[in-house]
Amino acid sequence: PRPILLTRHGESLYNVRGRIGGDTAISETGELYAKKLANFVEKRLKNEKAASIQMGTDLQHLIEQSLGELGRAGRKIGLKAIIWTSTLQRTILTASPIAGFPKIQWRALDEINAGVCDGMTYEEIKKNMPEEYDSRKKDKLRYRYPRGESYLDVIQRLEPVIIELERQRAPVVVVSHQAVLRALYAYFADRPLSEIPHIEMPLHTIIEIQMGVTGVQEKRYKLM
Ligand code: G3H
């Protein structure tokens, strides 16, 4: 089994001010998390490499005997982890201390688009747009922000990401956002649609998903 690591970005400047959306940098606390995450990923995926090499030794000998250098190169490439981020600053900055792994930005991993409410606090939405606030509270899954997205929209745009995650043979580290990670996590943990908007997805915590023949296993690492 190969691991998929899911994490939110480190605390952003908007998180500090209780504002949703935006494209702010990360706070000092967020930067600290970024460093801890890099440490964790480098150690965790080094172990992964060792374990895989041990398990597949016989097969690898066989491949290396017949393919020589090519076999050895293939083994290295095959185990290399990939870091996926959204296109927003806070995930790119969170991934930036992770060295030695390729990084890819996906627009599909961007946070739910809060449309006209982008940059507001929940208090401000409640005060200035009470009907919007109430509709979302009533049906958070289907509620679509004016000129923005609903959770269902997010789930739909994640389809290509999920297909690629299933297809990948290397470990993948996904650095994304609360709403998006709720949807991704629900897919792997087989949680019902109705629960998605309410799944707990704390900052500064890594959720490791292992997909094996016996099903999906999960571990959580709270780094701060
Ligand atoms: O900025 C958006 C939040 O991360 C999404 O959280 O869907 O619980 O409002 P929410």
Centre of ligand 1 to C-alpha 178, Å, is: 6
Mutation probe of ligand 1 site: the residue of 178, 195, 200 with most atoms within 8 A of C-beta:
178
**Residue 40 Cα distances to 18, 28, 33, 154, 209, angstroms:** 28, 18, 10, 28, 15
Is 55 in a helix, a strand, or coil?
A: helix
Tell me what pLDDT residue 212 has: 78
| Sheet of strand 205-212: strand arrangement | 103-105, 82-85, 172-176, 2-8, 205-212, 215-222
d(CA 26, CA 47): 29
Counting from 1 in the atom list of ligand 1, the atom nearest the Cα of 151 is 7
Please list the pLDDT of the chain residue by residue as tens digits (224 residues). Answer: 789 999 999 999 999 999 999 999 999 999 999 999 999 999 988 766 544 544 455 555 554 455 444 444 444 444 579 999 999 999 999 999 999 899 999 999 999 999 999 999 999 999 999 999 999 999 999 999 999 999 999 999 999 999 999 998 899 999 999 999 999 999 999 999 999 999 999 999 999 999 878 889 999 999 99
In this structure, which residue's CA is closest to atom 1 in ligand 1? 20
In this structure, which residue's CA is closest to atom 10 in ligand 1? 179
Tell me what pLDDT residue 61 has: 52
d(CA 144, CA 1): 37
Q: Can you count the helices (H) and strands (E) in the chain? A: 10, 6
Ramachandran sector of residue 177 (left: φ over 0; alpha: ψ -120 to 50; beta: rest)? beta
Structure tokens at 157: 């745009």
d(CA 2, CA 170): 7
Helix 28-55 to helix 69-79 angle (10° resolution) is 140
